[in-house]
Chains A and B, each alone.
Chain A
Amino acid sequence: MTTSSPLAGAPATALPGRSRPRPGRLRAGQRRAGLAFALPVIVLEVLFLLIPIAQAAYFSFTRWDGITASWIGPANYQRLFGDPTFWRVMANNLLLLASVPLAILIPLLVAYLLNEHVPGWRFFRSAYFLPTAISWVVIGMVALRVFAREGLLNHLLDAVGLGFIHTDMLAGELSAMEAVAITFIWSVFGTNTIIFITGMATLDREVYEAARVDGAGAFTTFVKITIPMLMRFIQFAFILTLITAFTALFSLIFVMTGGGPGYGTTTLEFYVYQQGFQVGVFGYAAAIGIVLFAIVFAISLAQLRIFRSRLD
């Protein structure tokens, strides 16, 4: 993870010989060049990522309208943790979290089938991966027509003689969240399938042959061989999906439900937007953003830990 930075402190006392630069001189010049080349990305990140996150942390302890801020200590956090809506929102995030195992398991199974390389498997792969290129706005736009009262899902139920189930998923708080979760699983399906396909391509086919010779069925092979050998890829997909669930669904929710009905589909990231730009309490919204950051940071640290433990 660390770069090969030249740590040897080269003294800048090299003689100014023009024809053949001495190693020390070269080092110093190289390091100056290194800093110069790295400067643009450093400046960009400091100005538009580092300073804003520090500001967010600071302003989360203030009452702030964007112009004047007054220090109020941890009052925003006290208010937040005592706010039933906040816990409602957290529950919604938990529901999304509960859908993550499905968002892993389904692609894992399909990747396993895809890896059999039946005719047309390349086409299947491309088709599955297509939603990755589509914006959440467009996905939400179509999903809305799938789950609506007069939508595609109900037409389908009618067509197969299950018309009595007739749902109006977007009208109920819990069912609307389920609709968002289903759309979420659908959207990350392609990405996760590709990750697992890549992983399976690295596996030794001989292991499978050996298992087959030993009389292991497809299911046994899947559970006993594929899953353990793919653990690294499963963990990667798991973390990626988790972070997507927490930070990438704003547009989907904006288009599909607007966070409603009630607070039915408001997640943490959407709550930041609502409180900040619809209610206009910037300090309070900053505090919500910091809670979100803390969660994502914890997930990322867990990922780092897994990564480290593998290196040891």
Chain B
Amino acid sequence: MGIARRRVGRGLIFLVLCLVVVIMLFPFLFMVLTAFRSRDQYLTGQGFSLDSWRELFKFLPVVQELINSAVVTGGAVLLIIAVSTTGGFAFAKLGFRGSGFVFLGILAGMMIPMQSIIIPEFVNIARVLHLNNQYLGAILVYAALGAPFATYLMTTYYRGVPTELVEASVMDGASYWQVFRKVMLPLSIPAITTVAVLQFIQVWDDLLVGLLFLNEPHVRTITVGLAVIQTGRVVNVPALMAGSLLSALPAILVYLIFQRNLIQGLTMGVNK
């Protein structure tokens, strides 16, 4: 009796979970199906074609935008990894006068919403540094926004590395740079991967920074290109869905490959 009841219970749970999957995946299904329809086929809901892709490539410089996205995202992720690994090493293992205070200050950076600083940031980048519509401007802003959490993550990770490892290498005559390169970096590949995955998705998917700092078509990222087209007058739903699919694909791939790292990075805040 009890077993039979549990069977029914588990069957019900399975059904509920299936229903949730439908709710969560249906929008993606819609996106994928619509991306392979012409406008007429979209209206009637019958048949498939590649029309929308031809349209997409006609009215959006998609290839250039994908390259722009790749350059900006790659640059920002590399810069974030560079400053968060060196910073994490310093805060976790070396220290300096007031390093605890400085570390807290950098953590506090996580509390600053992008929208609160976006106006002075825009004026600084555009009028003082003359870096608007250049990759470097957006890369610096993205890196500054992503680095606090990345530094927190790396510092926490490096704290788990035995201090004796560093001390022994230094006693053996290795410089701190050598210790960092030869000992710390190789040890922290998993944490670096987590940082890279989190930041890749963050930067690739962002709109606001790209919208303001890369607003000329030749430097626009795919996410910005898509959002700008959407708010325009052209309403070609299949082409928009094709663009959406194309822009989402790299992030989905990264997600599928590095799901574990993503989850680790996300739950880092509670488990520590």
Binding site for B on A (CB under 8 A): 1-6, 21, 26, 29-38, 40-42, 44-45, 47-53, 55-56, 59, 66-67, 110, 113-114, 116, 118-121, 123-124, 126-146, 152, 186, 189-191, 194-195, 198-199, 218, 232-233, 236, 240, 246-247, 250-251, 254-255, 258, 268-269, 272-273, 276-277, 282, 285-286, 289-290, 292-293, 296-297, 300
Contact of A135 among B14, B89, B92, B205 (CB under 8 A): B205
Cross-chain contact B20 with A289 (CB below 8 angstroms): no
Cross-chain contact B237 with A145 (CB below 8 angstroms): yes
Report how far A192 CA is from B247 CA in the complex, Å.
24
Cross-chain contact A33 with B116 (CB below 8 angstroms): no
Report how far A132 CA is from B259 CA in the complex, Å.
10
Given contact pairs A37-B90, A132-B262, A247-B114, A232 touches B244 in the complex (Cβ within 8 A): no
B94's nearest neighbour on chain A, judged by CB, is A34
Q: How far is the CB of B95 from chain A (nearest CB, A)?
A: 4
Contact of B119 among A35, A255, A286 (CB under 8 A): A286
List of A residues within 8 angstroms of B31 by Cβ = 138, 142
Q: How far is the CB of A11 from chain B (nearest CB, A)?
A: 14
Could you pull out 5 A-B pairs where Cβ atoms are within 8 angstroms? A3-B92, A40-B86, A152-B30, A246-B113, A251-B227
Report how far A297 CA is from B120 CA in the complex, Å.
19
Contact of A56 among B110, B117, B247, B270 (CB under 8 A): B117
Q: How far is the CB of A227 from chain B (nearest CB, A)?
A: 16
Report how far A290 CA is from B176 CA in the complex, Å.
41
Report how far A141 CA is from B118 CA in the complex, Å.
24
List of B residues within 8 angstroms of A233 by Cβ = 270
A-contact bits for B86-129, CB 8 A (1 contact / 0 none): 11011110111111101111110111111111111111100100
Cross-chain contact A129 with B96 (CB below 8 angstroms): no
Cross-chain contact A218 with B207 (CB below 8 angstroms): no
Given contact pairs A269-B113, A293-B113, A130 touches B25 in the complex (Cβ within 8 A): yes
List of B residues within 8 angstroms of A296 by Cβ = 111-113, 116
Given contact pairs A143-B27, A251-B207, A272 touches B115 in the complex (Cβ within 8 A): yes
Report how far A45 CA is from B117 CA in the complex, Å.
12
A-contact bits for B127-142, CB 8 A (1 contact / 0 none): 1000000000000110
Contact of B20 among A4, A128, A146, A255 (CB under 8 A): A128
List of B residues within 8 angstroms of A2 by Cβ = 100, 103-104
Cross-chain contact B106 with A42 (CB below 8 angstroms): yes
Q: How far is the CB of A223 from chain B (nearest CB, A)?
A: 17
Listed from nearest, the 7 A-B pairs whose CB atoms lie closest are A34-B94, A135-B205, A48-B144, A133-B255, A41-B87, A55-B120, A37-B90
**Segment of B48-56, B57-65, B145-153, B187-195 engaged in the interface with chain A:** B145-153
List of B residues within 8 angstroms of A119 by Cβ = 14
Q: Which chain B residues (213-242) contact chain A, with CB distance < 8 Å?
A: 223, 226-227, 230-231, 237, 240-241
Q: How far is the CB of A219 from chain B (nearest CB, A)?
A: 12
Q: Which chain B residues (1-15) contact chain A, with CB distance < 8 Å?
A: 9-10, 13-14
Contact of A52 among B103, B110, B117, B211 (CB under 8 A): B117
Known contacts A49-B148, A53-B117, A135-B247; 13 further A-B pairs (Cβ under 8 A): A5-B96, A33-B90, A38-B94, A47-B144, A56-B120, A66-B123, A135-B205, A137-B205, A143-B27, A269-B115, A272-B118, A289-B115, A292-B113
Contact of B95 among A31, A145, A251, A286 (CB under 8 A): A31
B271 within 8 A of A: yes
Cross-chain contact A189 with B30 (CB below 8 angstroms): no
Report how far A146 CA is from B24 CA in the complex, Å.
13
Given contact pairs A129-B259, A218-B9, A254-B231, A30 touches B115 in the complex (Cβ within 8 A): no
Q: How far is the CB of B140 from chain A (nearest CB, A)?
A: 6
A124's nearest neighbour on chain B, judged by CB, is B17
Report how far A191 CA is from B267 CA in the complex, Å.
9
Given contact pairs A48-B144, A198-B267, A35 touches B90 in the complex (Cβ within 8 A): yes
